[in-house]
Structure 1
Amino acid sequence: MAADREMVEAMRSRAETLRSQVERATAGFDSVMAQLRSVEVTAVSADRLVTVVVGADGKLRSLRLDPGIYHQPDSAELAATIEETIRVAGDAAQQRMVELCEPLLPPELVGQKDFTGSPEQLLESITGGFADILRKG
């Protein structure tokens, strides 16, 4: 009997912890969503000839090519440099979005899921993570 009561109390405590985490996450939802949508990251190529800005979704917002690119006529190399610079910026944008969301996440989700995509996809993944915890919990 005592073991059953302890188990019930542990389950109640866990449910209360999850409830407070969900409340904290939903309370900051609008603010975090606005921050996520405003994420922009600038990256500069190693040779400093390519500068890109990507948004939270990893999509290119701007591209600036230094006139020095005309001194290196290898178009394949230029294309590879542009693609790599966009990838670096996109990865940094994803990381920034995860950092913005981490305060809302229960410890079980921090570093455990691959949170990527647009702000909406990221928040959908977080919601799914909460649901997984509740199912397991």
Structure 2
Amino acid sequence: MSDAREAMIESLTEEYIRAGPAREMYGRLGELTVTSHSEDGMVTVTVGPRGQVRNIELDPRVYRKSSPSELSHSIKGEA
């Protein structure tokens, strides 16, 4: 193998190794979720890394306490 090819392969290998932690971190970011609770604790929403809703939990008491529109506002985080 020529010296130029060996140098290129070595350079690419070093670059690949240096990029390893960034690839790992990017992969872990894809697993990130955030959970938030309403002020009264009646609504819990979990979202994924791209903002997609993964889970919504409603305390059974919320149906007696809130109208449908109030519940909607609570889930969306509106005052």
Structure 2 residue ranges without an equivalent (≥5): 1-14
Describe how 1:71-86 pairs up with structure 2 within 5 A.
71-84=64-77
Structure 1 residue ranges without an equivalent (≥5): 1-21, 86-137
Aligned-pair CA distance for 1:34 = 1.5
Supply the RMSD in Å over aligned alpha carbons.
Answer: 2.4
Identity of aligned residues (%): 30
Query: Given residue 51 of structure 1, which amino acid in structure 2 is its aligned partner?
Result: T
Structure number with bigger Rg: 2
Aligned-pair CA distance for 1:72 = 1.9
Structure holding more helix per residue: 1
The count of residues paired between Structure 1 and Structure 2 equals 64
Runs of 4 or more, structure 1, over 2 Å off, are none
Query: Given residue 22 of structure 2, which amino acid in structure 1 is its aligned partner?
Result: F
Describe how 1:12-23 pairs up with structure 2 within 5 A.
none
Is 1:64 aligned to residue 54 of structure 2? no
Aligned-pair CA distance for 1:29 = 2.1
Aligned-pair CA distance for 1:35 = 1.0
- What is the distance in 2 between the residues matched to 1:47 and 1:73? 11
- With CA pairs under 8 Å and 6+ residues apart, which has the higher RCO, 1 or 2? 1
Match of 1:34 in 2: 27
**TM-score, length-normalised on structure 2?**
0.69
Is 1:55 aligned to residue 48 of structure 2? yes
Match of 1:89 in 2: none
- What is the distance in 2 between the residues matched to 1:55 and 1:30? 19
- What is the distance in 2 between the residues matched to 1:73 and 1:34? 40
**TM-score, length-normalised on structure 1?**
0.41
- What is the distance in 1 between the residues matched to 2:61 and 2:27? 37
Partner of 1:78: helix, strand, or coil?
helix
Structure holding more strand per residue: 2
